[in-house]
Amino acid sequence: MGSMSVTNLEEGLYGVLTNVAREHGTKSQKGFLIQFPLTHEDLSFLVGAHRVSITKAMKDLRQSGRIIKEGKTLVLPLDRL
């Protein structure tokens, strides 16, 4: 996994977040809400990447608007799914 490109990591992470949001999250007008704590370590286990890489990918996903962080809640906007 060390050679996984940043784009592939972002897509993999976004796919995991989408699955978690649809299966365990709450749907709202804003999008799917993940209202329980998911640490970067948890996500690194699910994606199969280093925690530091997850931190960078999460930052990139936030900057692109694919995820929104509101306190401890992650929002996956419906228009981006």
Query: What domains, with CATH codes, occur in the chain?
Result: 6-80 (1.10.10.10)
* Position 80 confidence tier, pLDDT thresholds 50, 70, 90: confident
Taking the model in full, what pTM does it have?
0.86
Q: Where are the alpha helices (DSSP H) in the chain?
A: 6-24, 40-47, 51-63
Contact yes or no for 8/55 (Cβ under 8 A): no
Tell me: the pLDDT tens digits for 21-67?
A: 999 999 999 999 999 999 999 999 999 999 999 999 999 999 999 99
SS3 at position 3: coil
12-24 pLDDT, tens digit per residue, is: 999 999 999 999 9
Q: What is the per-residue pLDDT for 2?
A: 44
Residue 70 scores a pLDDT above 60: yes
